[in-house]
Amino acid sequence: MATGSRPVPWLIQFYQRAKIDDATEAVPALDFFETLSKKVAAEIHAVLDAVAEAPPPAFSGGGKWEAMHGEMAGFYEVRVRGSGSNHRLFCLLERDADDLGGSSIVCLGGLTKPRRQPADPREYRRIRRYRDEFERNRTVLS
């Protein structure tokens, strides 16, 4: 969908766990941001904003927005370096999601890892669990 010649930006949504999955109804991506320096958090937000404006199908990653592969196929990640570590925010793309108010980038959660080290497989399992919960409950921060 475009207005004139400019595409409509996608919404940026933050997955909120449903009470059935987490009594506190945590928002994992926002919890992740709390662990980051202000500079790193600002850079991740800037990447999200740029992707949303492009919007995602037209965005050229430049190493900061990448489609994942293998067991993580279907996920996208914002990739930022800072404070001696690599930081990753994992997202889903939901095109034409009427229940979310329109096409959305859904931020699920993140991780920080040492540079040049693989992520702990448990972290990927956690993110896949969030995806499964999101797909079942379709809950985002309102």
Which numeric CATH code is attached to 2-137? 3.30.2310.20
Give residue 5's pLDDT.
67
Q: Which two tokens stand for residue 73?
A: 């196929």
Amino acid residing at 129: R
Q: Domain residue spans in the chain?
A: 2-137
pTM of structure: 0.93
**pLDDT in the model for residue 137:** 96
In this prediction, residue 57 carries a pLDDT of 75
Number of Cβ within a 10 Å radius of residue 22: 13
Provide Rg for the chain, Cα atoms.
15
| pLDDT one digit per residue (tens) for the chain, 142 residues | 455 567 889 999 999 999 999 999 999 999 999 999 999 999 999 999 999 999 887 787 789 999 999 999 999 999 999 989 999 999 999 999 999 999 999 999 999 999 999 999 999 999 999 999 999 999 999 8
